[in-house]
Amino acid sequence: MSENGALHHEDVLVRRGRRSGAAITVAVHSRVLGPAVGGCRIWTYPSWQDGASDAMRLAEAMTYKCAAAGLEYGGGKTVVALPMGTVLTPRLRRDVLHDVGEMVATFEGSYLVGPDVGTGPEDMMTIREVTPHSFCLPQEHGGTGNSGTPTAQGVQAALRAGARHVFGSESLSGHRVVIAGYGSVGSRLAADLSRAGATVVVSDVDGRKQAAAESSGYSWVEPEQALRTPADVLVPAAVGGVLNPETVATLDVPLVIGPANNQVTSDSVADLLADAGTVWVPDFVTSAGGVIYVLNREVGGLDHDDAAARVEVIEETVDQVLDAARAGGTTPLHESMVLAERRLGTAGAE
């Protein structure tokens, strides 16, 4: 993806919310394939500029996620950059979400917003009070609710393909899996992998989750040790930026596949992983299950079974990417980008 500082986005809108006073960025990277989609992240940042940069990185990743998944959508993202130490009271949250809705409305349907870190289906209902262009609503309001289950399903599909390439079998029974992030998706993956016979180790920045993890039979490591723990598989399932030259140097794991967005700090880290003998499947491929399922249900009108079947295609995509990387002596990131860019380059050409 772009790393030279040039602006490749179609729109970047930064405002101080008129109700909340919060710094809000809506970044739309591309609408080549269709309306842009991307979640609303509410998080604390050292500065509003950091939040804006995060929105732009995440929007670009969404473009490639949709393209690689074969979806007729482009990439966007909303980031609410709260000052460090901010207490998000119910009143402030409502004001923030109404400000977000007001900004989303200015795109007149060419950008649709869903949940992300710090938001959920109920928040999309609050945004709906201002604009109809939000998705992933609660099920009782006609939406699909939390997308954690299809996201985890997509990661499982990617893990099957990755395990075949690295271990010779799609089964992870008897293998040690470290899941860095014990949230909505990470906890589902932990349960699924444990049932399949894997030895599961989890970590999370929220230490209050340790008791629940251990009561489920998982081992616990502190977050700073998660990437230093020897394992067969590492599943980054929290925030991005965890794979950098320093962490790769201490990594002792042959396969990395997970749902966290923007896992590498730069594309060059993918080369470092390959040089170290670690197979890393890009997050924009493995984390697409949620958006595939939700858009096929809420916009495409498919029923649950048909939408879930679309998520399983991630396994074929990962197979294709890893086969191409092995045959060409390239990296999975390179081949994933080629796959996405081929589609972006041919959109509308038929």
Residues annotated as part of the active site: 77
CA 338 to chain centre: 19
Report d(CA 106, CA 158) in Å as an integer. 37
Alpha-carbon distance values, 92 to 85, 95, 96, 152 (Å):
14, 5, 6, 31
Whether residue 34 contacts residue 63, with contact meaning beta carbons closer than 8 Å, is answered with: no
CA gyration radius, the chain: 19
Cβ neighbourhood burial of 310 (10 Å; 0-12, 13-18, 19+)? buried
Residue count of the chain: 350
CA 199 to chain centre: 24
Report d(CA 338, CA 344) in Å as an integer. 10
Whether residue 121 contacts residue 39, with contact meaning beta carbons closer than 8 Å, is answered with: no
Report d(CA 64, CA 285) in Å as an integer. 8
Whether residue 143 contacts residue 124, with contact meaning beta carbons closer than 8 Å, is answered with: yes
Count of Cβ atoms closer than 10 Å to residue 331 Cβ: 21
Contacts of 205 (CB under 8 A, 6+ apart): 223, 238
**H helices present in 78-119, as ranges:** 90-105
The enclosing H or E element of 13 equals strand 11-16
Report d(CA 347, CA 350) in Å as an integer. 8
Q: CA 89, 95, 99, 102 torsion: positive or negative?
A: positive
